[in-house]
């Protein structure tokens, strides 16, 4: 068993958060302790992570699980803006359809749409998993969201 210590500055957390998330994605963490620490005018979250030295154990239900992708780190700012609008559209559509978000589109599909500057239904049809039914039900609204910057996909 090993230990990893990470501190996250409350006012400037982005890099340390990425480090913490990456560690969780690549290790079998057995226990996490956290404390809010104040040093003068600064505040930090201090994490102590207890993890299995062997990494992810065989037979572990989390073994082989894909790491969580932070698309804000992966996408260019202009593509992330489109991705964010598409997530808002997905949320609205899920509410309208009364289904869970993940039943409509995955984050990876939304990122692909944003990155590839989808401009037509033909472009949208090239996105893996975006078949005839999704195209018929949601295609026009997705395109309007991408083209017009409208999170609800309205005209």
Domain ranges for the chain: 2-51, 71-148
May I ask the CATH class of domain 71-148? mainly alpha
At 84, is the secondary structure helix, strand, or coil?
Answer: helix
Mean pLDDT of 61-88: 81
Per-residue confidence (pLDDT) for residue 148, from 0 to 100: 81
| Integer Cα distance of 147 and 82 in angstroms | 9
**pLDDT over 60 (residue 145):** yes
Provide the pLDDT for residue 81: 93
* pTM more than 0.75: no
80 band by pLDDT with thresholds 50, 70 and 90: very high
């Amino acid at each position: 068993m090993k230990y990893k210590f990470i501190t996250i500055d409350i006012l400037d957390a982005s890099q340390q958060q990425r480090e913490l998330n990456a560690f969780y994605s690549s290790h079998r963490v057995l226990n996490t302790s956290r404390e809010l620490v104040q040093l003068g005018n600064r505040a930090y979250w201090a994490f102590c992570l207890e993890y299995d030295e062997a990494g992810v154990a065989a037979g572990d239900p989390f073994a082989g699980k894909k790491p969580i992708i932070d698309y804000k780190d992966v996408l260019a700012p202009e593509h992330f803006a489109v991705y964010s609008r598409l997530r808002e559209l997905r949320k609205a559509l899920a509410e309208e359809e009364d289904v869970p978000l993940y039943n409509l589109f995955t984050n990876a599909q939304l990122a692909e749409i944003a990155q590839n500057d989808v401009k037509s239904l033909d472009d949208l049809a090239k996105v893996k998993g975006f078949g005839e039914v999704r195209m018929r039900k949601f295609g026009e609204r997705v395109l309007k969201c991408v083209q017009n910057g409208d999170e609800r996909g309205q005209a």
